[in-house]
Homo-oligomer: A and B are copies of this chain.
Amino acid sequence: MQIFLDRHNLDGFLFVGDSICDADMYYLTHFLAGDRFAALAQEKTTLLVSSMETGRAEKESIADKCLSTSQYKIREKLKSSENWEEAYGQMLAEFLQDHSIKHLGVPFRFPAGLYQHLIQDFAVTVLESPASRFRAIKTIKEINAIADTQRACERAMRQAIHLIGSCEPRGELLYHDDMPLTSEKVRSAIDISLLEDGCETMDTIIAGGLQAADPHARGTGPLAANAPIVIDIFPRSKSSRYFADMTRTVLKGEAALEVEEIYEAVCLAQAEGLRAVRAGASGKEVHSRVSEVFRDQGYPETEGQGFTHSTGHGVGLDVHEKPSLGEAGEILEVNHVVTVEPGLYYPDIGGVRMEDMVVVKKRGCENLTHFEKKLVL
């Protein structure tokens, strides 16, 4: 952090937000809070939290110092200003002065209301948060945490695939215990498995039939027989806060030749994408390679059809973080953790996606996903 501050000629870098939504703040403080607090990164890190949170912050956070908003008389300021934002801005100004700040850095996502207030008294530079770059490169401990979440993710995937595999195709639908199997039912089995493993997840994708033609469709209602079902699970460990992310596509019943060919094309594109991942290559190069494999196999991207998204993204305290494996993909570095997840989508067929999560190495990558790839159950 000190090197970053020196390079930009800053006396400190200030974050204000909650650390549930702002993973940079959690990364720097290890203090998990749903209510807004401030973290000032200098040579040491100082938190400014409500008096109610000071005890917990002192116990749980890795910051060097925890100050309470009551030391800055936030209540009195609130009484006189009757506007939370102004009172909070005044308090921040005093807090920054106490820490000898003249030149201050804030991240792109810093609240504009407070930015407006602080530029009255400080030279404020808005910069990309250095934490976003720091945390893209994982320690061994972080990689182990991600791998642990991935194991839970795979157990949940196993439950989902087992449930689909145990169905009977009747007409256009899949039946389980004489009832049509639904996306909701599969999602529920995944949720319970993840909960047992201490993980949570918000929005698992179980999209079958034509629903899967939209890569972000969550999936709802009865699942189709003889059609690919995309299962994309991205849980977070409640204890470590680290995510994992994986996707498989399965089909129960008879696969049309066209679907089998699409599935093979996605597998090949993924294998080539994985082969292209190594420190020094750019995310853009990996993405170009995957796009090229699709084109070569006769699946060019056309507006809204084919391979319509980027190849992958970093995974860590956020499910989508740096680096990107897409059009603007940065240079990959050792111990980046990224997904490689090509897919093909057609409105009249549905979709197929395959996603593994890997650690970038000097020569190549290490796949953290240990799960077979098999279309027809």
Residues of A within 8 A of B (CB): 20-21, 32, 34-35, 51-53, 55-56, 70, 75, 78-79, 82, 84-85, 87, 106-116, 126, 128, 191-192, 195, 200, 202-203, 214-218, 238, 303-304, 308-309, 319-320, 327-328
Contacts and interface: CB of A to CB of B under 8 A. Distances in A.
A80 to B, nearest CB: 10
B108 A52 contact: no
Contact of A115 (B55, B84, B115): B115
> How many copies of this protein are present in the complex?
2
Contacts of A21: 20-21
24 contacts: A21-B21, A34-B319, A34-B320, A51-B304, A52-B308, A55-B216, A56-B217, A75-B327, A78-B328, A79-B328, A84-B328, A85-B128, A106-B112, A107-B112, A108-B113, A109-B111, A109-B112, A110-B111, A111-B111, A112-B126, A116-B126, A192-B195, A195-B195, A202-B238
A214 B55 contact: yes
Given A85-B128, A111-B112, A116-B126, 6 more contacts: A51-B304, A55-B216, A56-B216, A106-B112, A191-B195, A192-B192
Given A34-B320, A308-B51, A111 B113 contact: no
Nearest to A284: B79
Contacts of A110: 111-113
Contact of A112 (B112, B191, B303): B112
Nearest to A194: B195
